[in-house]
Amino acid sequence: MSAANASSRGRSPADVDLSVSLGALRLRNPILAASGTFGYGTEFAHLVNLNRLGGFVTKGLSREPMVGSPPPRLCDTPSGMLNAIGLQNVGVQAFVREKLPVLRKFDTVVVANVFGYCIEDYLEVIWVLEDAEGLAAYELNVSCPNVTKGGLQFGNDPVQVKEVTEAARKVAAKRPLWVKLSPLVADIGSIARAAEEAGADALTIANTYPAMAVDYTTGRSRLGSPTGGLSGPAIKPITLRQVWEARQAVKIPILGLGGIETAADVLDYLVVGATAVQVGTASFTDPKVSERLPEEVREALFEINMFTVNEIRYSFRAENS
């Protein structure tokens, strides 16, 4: 008799409560679709029941529309995907005018991903969004070069992460504020603390890893740009460790993001301390993955006799004996 059969007699996977709280925000399940891999949500509405998602994060929104990078923008690598989209988007004004009215018809949590090239850019985008109905939170993408600081990425420097988060918190955002960290940093704990001290309500860990793919026969990049960002299964073990490191540094909720394809991947992130997760690249091969995974997580928790998501969170034991 399996463990589940022994002590969950009379109960079924339907009894597993998947709901989680990220500060004041309640999600029906801990799985959101990640920024840049789920468009503005509207493109997926004919394929995915948006009302069943934990939520989704929009494509990055900037002050002005952006045309993005030259093609090709995606390329496969043996265990992950490389992208150089160049943050193409319709701009925050068009998002509010054209996309949000459609999204308001759904009962789903919509998080706006925000980016810029100086602090004022971030604030401008949030100001426009503050006047609009239908958003649950903001996610600041800090993996962008700060043109006022010689092009150094915000996300590589705790001081800059603090400045942009503090400005967004104090000057602009009344909604919950998440900060999405860059993964390729020497000490993710110090960056996570900087965001927490500056007033972030949650952290998303993490973005893609700077990487390249070349064709030696032509001596050219396999993307339209020299470099791109690596995502997918290749990055999961690295990002998992970053989540665990950050968990020990901060108290605010963490959303784990990197290489999730299965229920086991989701639960691995919860075990090392994530409260929720996001799913990115996997949506390219299966657009319904974020709708399917909650049911699979329910089954997996039932199998190990757990009936709430909270029971498994941060159950990681560093001493392996």
Ligand X SMILES: Cc1cc2nc3c(=O)[nH]c(=O)nc-3n(C[C@H](O)[C@H](O)[C@H](O)COP(=O)(O)O)c2cc1C
Check if the beta carbon of residue 194 is closer than 8 Å to that of residue 230. no
CA pair distance 232, 82, nearest whole angstrom: 9
- Contact flags string 5-44 toward ligand X, x per CB under 6 A: -----------------------------xxxx-------
Query: What span, in angstroms and rounded, lies between the C-alpha atoms of 247 and 249?
Result: 5
What is the C-alpha radius of gyration for the chain, rounded to an integer number of angstroms? 19
CB of 286 to ligand X, least distance (A): 12
Distance CA 203, CA 205 (A): 6
Contact range with ligand X by CB under 6 A, out of 4-12, 165-173, 241-249, 255-263: 255-263
Q: Which stretch binds ligand X (CB under 6 A): 265-273, 276-284, 298-306, 313-321?
A: 276-284
How near is the Cβ of 308 to ligand X at its closest, in Å?
25
> What backbone phi and psi angles, to 5 degrees, belong to 273?
120, 0
Q: Tell me the C-alpha distance between 268 and 314, whole Å.
A: 10
8 vs 58 by CB, closer to ligand X:
58
Residue of 8, 42, 231, 275 interacting with ligand X (CB under 6 A): 231
260 near ligand X, rule: CB under 6 A? yes
Residue 38 · residue 56 · CB < 8 Å: yes
- Say how many residues touch ligand X, by CB under 6 A: 25
Q: Which stretch binds ligand X (CB under 6 A): 15-23, 79-87, 152-160, 248-256?
A: 79-87
Q: Does 99 bind ligand X (CB under 6 A)?
A: no
Distances (CA, A) of 242 to 183, 189, 308: 7, 8, 25
Residue 59, interface with ligand X (CB under 6 A)?
A: yes
Pick the closer one to ligand X by CB: 223 or 271.
Answer: 223
Closer CB to ligand X, 235 or 252, in the complex:
235
Q: Using the rule CB under 6 A, is 207 a contact of ligand X?
A: yes
Q: Closest approach of Cβ 116 to ligand X, in Å?
A: 12
DSSP codes joined into one string, 263-285 = HHHHHHHHHTT-SEEEE-THHHH
Does 182 bind ligand X (CB under 6 A)? Our answer is: no
- The tokens of 267 are what? 């639960």
The verdict on whether 144 is a catalytic residue reads yes
Q: Rounded to whole angstroms, how far apart are CA atoms 158 and 41?
A: 32
Q: Which residue in the set 30, 54, 55, 60 belongs to the binding site for ligand X (CB under 6 A)?
A: 60
- Token readout for 217 is 């026969």
How many other CB atoms are found less than 10 A from the CB of residue 72? Answer: 15
Among 30, 176, 228, 232, binds ligand X (CB under 6 A): 232
Is 180 near ligand X (CB under 6 A)? Answer: yes
Task: Between 60 and 253, name the residue whose CB sits nearer to ligand X.
Answer: 60
Indicate which residue of 16, 57, 140, 144 is catalytic: 144
294 binds ligand X (CB under 6 A): no
Q: Is 258 left (phi over 0), alpha (psi -120 to 50) or beta?
A: left
Contact between 156 and ligand X (CB under 6 A)? no
Cα separation, 189 vs 186, whole angstroms:
9
Give per-residue burial for 51-63: e unless 16+ CB within 10 Å, then b: ebbbbbbbbbbbb
Binding site for ligand X (CB under 6 A): 34-37, 59-60, 81, 83, 85, 87, 113, 141, 180, 207-208, 231-232, 235, 257-260, 279-281
Catalytic residues: 144
